[in-house]
Chain A
Amino acid sequence: MTTTQEPLTNRSASEEHNYPTLLRIGHKYVTTLGQRLAVGGFRGPQDIAVSPDGSYYVLNRGSANLQQVPRTRYVRVNIEDEGYENDIVPEIDGLVLSEGDDRLPSPVMCVLDCAATLFNTDERANAVVAINTSGETIGVWGESGDGPGHLNGPSGIALDADENLWVVNSRDHRVQHFTRDGKYLGGFGELGNQPGQLNHPWGISVDPVDGTLVVADWHNSRVQRFSTDGTAMQIIGSPGTGVGELDHPSGVVVDRYGDIYVADRNNHRVLMFNWRGNFIESFRGDATINPRGISRLMGNPDILRQRDNIINLDREKRLKYPTSVRVDNEGRLFITDTGRYRVQIYEKLCRVLQPHEVEDAALHVDPGLN
């Protein structure tokens, strides 16, 4: 791994040609999926895998009440009709994962490949689990340890353009590259707070524009970009609660324009940065109650009366410990709102500008324009 000595805050202008210039219009709140522990609800949702066919797979990890591993590892949802199509219960060696099963106790993050296989990390089993969308376990791989190819508290997982996997090792502060069946291809990372060093990293995303890796450097409260050989390229954010600052970020995703969304978990918000690493926008949550939630409320007059007396319902909309962020090809942003049993969805509104539309304008800073 190459560690750059100078602070890394901005990428060079020479990289600018890779990324489109955007007219940023904003983000439109779309809908909220999920509710508390009801049928069609989520149990400690951690992540969501995006499928090109319009289905989405929400990865669950127990709940405060159950205090155990949920049988339902994934819930398949379709956001078009806010439908919950079915629960996906993993089978391992022909046996259905049972309540309290300690074989795969701690799923963390997931990703879906082009063959409709769901891969999720399991941080206590030190494993990557491959499940098809019927719930059959295709493979479980991973060897515990700190050596090359070993897993130690695996958390973030991402597919690259070749459909190989990048897996974050949270407990030994490394990022490793594997084939989908677990063959080790390489890796980098070490503990520390200097540029290029990591401290209990969590999520990871592959920048679709240039293939670089963006890692949520959780305990350093920052995000870092690396080349695939581990060269530190960029530091995004700094510890804090202010504008553009991060407090223990968990998930991270880069969209097709190079914009970086970060689940700023302990600040209960999501931040968006551009490819330069400049803060652009924040999301604090706009949740609305979906039809299933409404029907549940309608069935309980006591709760209806209670809600009618609430002065400030603003709190209910807000994110609570958002763990992951994902995007799809439609420009939608999915925020796994773990502490509120739901996924909040936004739609990105922007226009890609052609070069002639922005010629000279990029150099123009005229206060008089205000």
Chain B
Amino acid sequence: MTTDTSTDVALVGHLMRRAGFALPAHELERLAEKSYEGLVDDLVDFEKFDPVEMHFLERYHSEFADGEGWTPLRIMYRMINSKRPLQEKMALMWHGVFATGSAKVTNGPMMSQHYEMLREFAVDNFAEILKRLSRDPAMLFWLDQQTNHATAVNENWGRELLELFSMGVGNYTEEDVRDCARAYTGWTIDQVIPRYPFGQQGGSFVYRNDDHDDGEKSFLGHNGDFNGDDIVDIIVDHPATAQFVGREIHNFFVSDQPVQSEIDAIAGAFTANGGDIREVMRTLFNSDFFKEAKFTRVRNPVEFIVGTVHLTDELRDPYEYGLHELPQKSTLMGQQLLNPPTVEGWHTGKEWIDSALLMERVNFAVERIGNQDAPGVEKMVDRVASGREWIEPAEILDAALYELGALELGSKSRTALLDEVGTNNPLRCDGANRKQYEAAILETFQLITASREYQLG
């Protein structure tokens, strides 16, 4: 552990918003006592921290014992409470890349298995991730692998593996797709028990040798009697895969706008480390272009919600009522966990924002941040007042921005917010004026959460 070099709080805020979820200033200050590189190591080598204790969540939400519909709630709870934020964030990223949806799978336990697999192998070697994915019951059902037979090939999985999960269009031929699918014949799942009358069971991967095509295949210039894992090994060695992973990671962790030189750097780390995602992420977070990419991407709804709840310091205790509302809010903001709209996953960037979705985001944040009974809000209000007898309204804006995670406003937003808060007289922070002061702080918090920059991470 490195403790000799302190780190800029704003930079730590940026790192945590991207590699984890937004945090209030007082938590960023604690983290900033470490060196930046030390923080990155803590994020990527997350096994050094204990996982979230889930027993209490299961107990105080015992109505969810059927396991059918509560995985989104579990995901949110973990994100809020985990000391391994990158693990949660990577799982969310892979969930968007390897988009598998409950709309078709219609099996809660199977979808839960799927997401748990993404979490467990979040920073593993990419080849291992693809091999796990190709054995995942939800994914296999999602892409009709149970109908991919030696005598009747279904190309759905084989095509999406190449197009959406590893290389991208333009890097393979139709013949490659065909033989990729042939290599996966016999890769299927056991028959799922229908949900009536006793509810859903999970599924299991099954390899049926008697339904596998043992013939010669030609795939990306290689010839042989390939099975599924051989296909993955060939894919991961292909330069297009490094570029694919680079694009996905850049889009999720760096910017809504692709920058080829930065994607190349990520792809280079992928190749140099043999597809080890953990090392790719370490390299990325330590790069200059990552450090300079503050507020260049729109936070997805899940990031937005979890980050806001971090600021209010609520729902840490599974006994608290209301956790189940968070996945519902995320759905209203356009991101239904475990149910991406298509196999392409969610469209990101500005597509997270339209007039209706923006209203959902702003209403959620304004309501949460405006609740002074929330312990995190109370703490932030107190910190703004700390050590001051009087405060100028313009100072409130800067102090509030800092408390909400060392946020930075563009000139337009700053001018607009100053117009709102900057015309009042100086406020006394204590005594009889305390309530007026608190109201001004809360109003400023709420105005910030309605700003353009608060939507960004």
Query: Which A residues fall within an 8 A CB radius of B?
Result: 35-36, 38, 41, 43-44, 46, 61-65, 67, 102, 105-106, 108, 123-124, 153, 171, 200, 202, 218-219, 248, 250, 266, 287, 289, 292-293, 296-297, 300, 303, 306-307, 309-313, 315-316, 320-321, 323, 338-342
Contact = CB atoms under 8 A, between A and B. Distances in A.
Contacts of A313: 193
15 contacts: A35-B197, A38-B196, A46-B62, A63-B69, A64-B68, A64-B108, A65-B68, A102-B321, A289-B198, A312-B190, A320-B67, A321-B58, A321-B65, A338-B65, A339-B67
Given A123-B60, A218-B59, 17 more contacts: A35-B196, A36-B198, A41-B197, A61-B62, A63-B69, A124-B321, A200-B56, A296-B196, A306-B191, A315-B201, A316-B201, A320-B65, A321-B58, A338-B62, A339-B65, A340-B66, A341-B66
Nearest to A308: B191
B194 interface: yes
A150 to B, nearest CB: 16
A44 B196 contact: no
A340 B198 contact: yes
Given A105-B321, A310-B191, A316-B201, A63 B196 contact: no
Shortest beta-carbon contacts, A-B, top 9: A64-B69, A44-B63, A293-B197, A35-B197, A321-B65, A339-B65, A62-B63, A338-B65, A64-B68
Interface in B54-99: 55-56, 58-60, 62-70
A333 to B, nearest CB: 19
A339 B146 CA distance: 28
A289 B197 contact: yes
B319 interface: yes
Contact of A64 (B58, B70, B194, B196): B70
B interface, by DSSP: helix, strand, loop or mixed? loop
B319 A64 contact: no
Given A63-B63, A338-B62, A297 B197 contact: yes
A204 to B, nearest CB: 16
A59 to B, nearest CB: 11
A61 B64 CA distance: 9
Contacts of A35: 196-198
A249 to B, nearest CB: 11
Contacts of A297: 196-197
B30 interface: no
Contacts of A200: 56, 59
Interface string B293-321: 00000000000000000000000000101
Interface size bucket, B side?
20 to 34
A44 B193 contact: no
B195 interface: yes
B201 to A, nearest CB: 5
B204 to A, nearest CB: 9
Contacts of A312: 190
B194 A340 contact: no
A91 to B, nearest CB: 22
Contact of A171 (B64, B197, B319): B319
Nearest to A289: B197
B239 interface: no
B324 interface: yes
Contacts of A46: 62-63
Nearest to B69: A64
A157 to B, nearest CB: 15
Contacts of B375: none
B199 interface: yes
A250 B56 CA distance: 12
Contacts of B191: 306, 309-311
A270 to B, nearest CB: 15
A307 B197 CA distance: 11
B190 A311 contact: yes
A216 to B, nearest CB: 11
A171 B328 CA distance: 28
Contacts of A293: 196-198
Question: In this complex, which of B58, B64, B192, B198 has the most chain A Cβ atoms within 10 angstroms of its Cβ?
Answer: B198
Contact of A341 (B56, B198, B324): B198
Interface of B: 55-56, 58-60, 62-70, 108, 190-199, 201, 319, 321, 324, 328
B63 A339 contact: no
Contacts of A123: 60, 319
A62 B324 CA distance: 12
Contacts of B190: 311-312
A126 to B, nearest CB: 11
B63 A303 contact: no
A297 B197 CA distance: 8
Question: In this complex, which of B56, B69, B194, B321 has the most chain A Cβ atoms within 10 angstroms of its Cβ?
Answer: B194
B198 A316 contact: yes
B193 A307 contact: yes
A36 B62 contact: no
Nearest to B317: A171
Nearest to A313: B193
Contacts of B70: 64
Contact of B69 (A65, A171, A340): A65
B199 A341 contact: yes
Nearest to A221: B55
B65 A307 contact: no
Contacts of A309: 191
Contacts of B197: 35-36, 38, 41, 289, 292-293, 296-297
Contacts of A124: 319, 321
Nearest to A320: B65
Contacts of B324: 67
Given A218-B59, A303-B194, A64 B66 contact: yes
A339 B63 CA distance: 8
Contacts of B59: 200, 202, 218, 248, 250
A64 B63 contact: yes
Contact of B66 (A219, A266, A306, A339): A339
Contacts of A41: 197
Contacts of A307: 193-194
A248 B60 CA distance: 13
Contacts of A43: 63
